[in-house]
Structure 1
Amino acid sequence: MRSAPVTIKDIARALNISISTVSRALRGMPEIHADTRAAVMRLAEELDYQPNQLAKNLLKSRTRTIGVIVPNLSYYYFSAMLNSIEEAAMQAGYSVLVCQSNESYLREATHIQNLLRSQVEGFIISLSRDTDNCEHVERLVRKGVPVVLFDRYSDTIAADKVIVNNHDAAFNATMHLLNNGCQRLAVLAGPPQLLISNERLAGYRAALASAGIAENKAYVLHCDFTPERTRLQTTALMKLPEPPDGLLTISDRIAFTALFALKERGVRVPDDLLVVSFNNEPLCDFLSPSLSSVSQPIQEMGMETVRLLLRQIEATDTDTYVPETKVMGTELVIRESSQKR
């Protein structure tokens, strides 16, 4: 349940002063005693009061504009999601303002403020790699601003979410590698604070446990999605006394760099090492060998994020709104990289 936005009436009541005094104190009028002004400002900060009541006004405004914040549009997944979101929004009579966080928490928070000033009616957000404090998004939710998270999300935010079952998808991908003969299975995961990476890592570990294989911590590495880091980590894996014979990566862009690094070292895929990845980018079909990858229903996910956001925007009783988490299915698309010749 969402809390109602704090008003100057609430502040006046709490401090036992008049509404007009609170209003003048918030505007910094000189006739208000310094102690009174300090008390008003302190309580306004504690209660997260927004002087212009922008969040409240957003629920009434009809700019018919949606703010979308994604980590990076150079990633196939997010550009494809944006296409789906924009199409669904346009069909509903809404336009889209798009911002890229470039994997930066600070940029993400700044974009939220800029989009609020543009009076968007709601937000569709996929969190950045560096976001480990979600207060900037939680504040939106507390104020009743419509928010939908997709793909990269936080379970601490009480907002609508559109995600896939990352645990089961990684479990099935790992079992596929194990069933094709892998015994020393490594994983290139994402940053430790990224929830979807941890969910996929948990699926990998569950598959190993199901197969009775003890986890080797040397086979678990965390990438930051940069090619430089991925290349170094892939090389480090193959320099181990017992290098892995199978590799799970949590995204295709990590896999693409890993495949390049493997080729540099003369490691043959799939003869020496089997590889499975996530996102099923179109390029997977055109690599040699072609890359096995988990496919997500991007078109349907984009449409679902817009549906959930519009449901919030059009809700008549926001105080009783119950957030929904929509979990979509995935499919492992098997290609040459994960099958022994």
Structure 2
Amino acid sequence: MRHQVTIKDIARHLNISIATVSRALRDLPDIHPETKKSVLDLAQEWDYQPNVLATSLVKSRTKTLGVIVPDLGYYFFSTVVKGIEEAAIEAGYSVLITQTGESYERELTNVQNLSRGQVEGFIISLSRETTDFEHLKRLQRRGIPLVFFDRECEEIDASKVMVDNEQSAYEAVSHMISNGCRRIAFLAGSKNVTVSNQRKAGYLRALREGNLPVEDSLVIYGDYHQSTATTCTHQLMNLPNPPDGILAVSDRLAIGAVLALRERGVQIPQEVALVSFNDEPICSLMTPTISSVSQPTTEIGKIAANILISQIEYKGESFPSQVKVLKTELKIRESSQRK
């Protein structure tokens, strides 16, 4: 791990006392303006962050992991967090968990607050609004370990734990094609989210290999709310040539699609087949039951935590980034099984 900047480092570099640096950072009087400016400029350049726990910590280690997820109300994220906690506890670490609510500003605030609270590393799944990654690059410059899961940042060289989203979507669409679907739509998430784009790539590959039409009107981007999926499904079914199959990027969107199809009296799967992702428990309780791609969520969390802890405890100069891509399983149920 790289050294985290302290007031001692600033004082040594400027050849002034630690007390002077402390007073300058706290904007106290009796400091020459040029000295104060030098301290503040260097603190900004070196990305100095105050250690608010320094007075109460006997050791510099907190053995605490910071976890940032979009929404714990989603089955996927809550079960990943369960895996993170299990692995952390087994290794003698604790976990601080925050949610962004899909907001970039909240993600930024969470990163800043957890940094001040002296977590030793971060496990993050990005918000759908996040397109500026400077706050995460800053963590790396400060030598704070970082692991992505599910939603990654291609601009940052960091460890990540994913599933093979492209192959998963390819298999889901291929399944619908084998069951007679010829016009398959995709209810996507945000264009900013890598998961959605990876699944779209698999969707398109399956269509091309099946010699089926690839039409922009059959791909609809949106948020992850059930009501949005209902609206988007009505939009799809109002097309002059509506789809006979729908791939939804999540189970929550699939439920919204089911509600729209019911409102229109469309039979599932006879008229429109449906497959989604995450395999939440509700998939086997719906009528019809929903075919869904099952992901090893708890394992994702455990692997992410173990990678982060290994990085925190690594004694070498630079920890090599690790990429773990896990397999999924398509759970075929009534919503897509025509044969």
TM-score by length of 2: 0.90
The answer to whether the 8 Å contact 2:149/2:162 transfers is yes
**CA 11–122 in structure 1, closer or farther in 2 if over 3 Å, else same:** closer
Unmatched 5+ residue regions in structure 1? Answer: none
Choose from 293, 317, 325 the match for 1:327: 325
Partner residue of 2:213?
Answer: 214
Identity of aligned pairs, percent?
52
Give the whole-Å Cα distance in 1 for the aligned partners of 2:258 and 2:155. Answer: 36
Task: Tell me how far apart the structure 1 counterparts of residues 92 and 7 of structure 2 sit (CA, whole Å).
Answer: 35
**Which aligned pairs between 1:258-337 and structure 2 lie closer than 5 A?**
258-317=257-316, 319-337=317-335
Question: 2: CA distance between counterparts of 1:285 and 1:203?
Answer: 25
Match of 2:15 in 1: 18
2:116 equivalent in structure 1: 117
Match of 1:153 in 2: 152
Question: Are the counterparts in 2 of residues 5 and 142 from structure 1 also a CA contact under 8 Å?
Answer: no
Partners of 1:118 and 1:334 in 2: CA distance: 45
Residue 110 of structure 1 deviates from its aligned partner by 1.5
SS state at 2:324 partner: strand
C-alpha distance in 1, partners of 2:21/2:292? 58
Shift of 1:38: 3.1
- The DSSP-based 3-state class of the residue aligned with 1:255 is helix
How many Å separate the matches in 2 of 1:174 and 1:167? Answer: 11
Q: How many residues align?
A: 335
Alignment of 1:34-49 (within 5 A): 34-49=33-48
* Counterpart AA for 1:321: F
Per-residue CA deviations over 1:42-77 (Å, capped at 9, x if unaligned) read: 34324423355999xx9x733222222211111111
The CA distance in 1 between the partners of 2:217 and 2:150, in whole Å, is 28
CA distance in 2 between partners of 1:36 and 1:96 (Å): 40
TM-score of the aligned structures, taking structure 1 as reference length:
0.89
2-structure distance, mates of 1:303, 1:33: 52
Name whichever of 81-90 and 34-43 sits farther off: 34-43
Give yes or no for contact 2:152–2:160 (8 Å, CA) kept in 1. yes
SS of corresponding position for 1:337: coil
| 1:114 to 1:5, Cα distance in 2 relative to 1, 3 A | closer
CA distance in 2, matches of 1:159, 1:216: 35
Distance across 1 between alignment mates of 2:211 and 2:2 = 48
Q: Is structure 2 residue 238 aligned with structure 1 residue 239?
A: yes
Residue 88 of structure 2 corresponds to which residue in structure 1?
89
Structure 1 match to 2:78 = 79
Deviation of the 1:112 alpha carbon: 2.0
For residues 39-188 of structure 1, the aligned pairs below 5 Å read 39-50=38-49, 52=51, 61-188=60-187
**Residues 240-267 of structure 1: per-residue CA shift (max 9 Å, x gap):** 0000011001111110111111111111
Provide the rounded CA distance (Å) in 1 between the counterparts of 2:35 and 2:183.
67
Over aligned residue pairs, what C-alpha RMSD do you find? Answer: 2.6
Q: 1:81 offset after TM fit, Å? A: 1.3
CA distance in 1, matches of 2:234, 2:99: 31
Q: Which amino acid aligns with 2:67?
A: V
CA distance in 2, matches of 1:19, 1:194: 47
Once residues 19 and 225 of structure 1 are traced to their aligned partners in structure 2, the CA distance between those partners, rounded to angstroms, is 53
Output the CA distance in 1 between the equivalents of 2:51 and 2:80: 33
Which amino acid letter does the alignment assign opposite residue 282 of structure 2? L
Separation (CA, whole Å) in 1 of partners of 2:93 and 2:48: 29
Partner of 1:338: 336
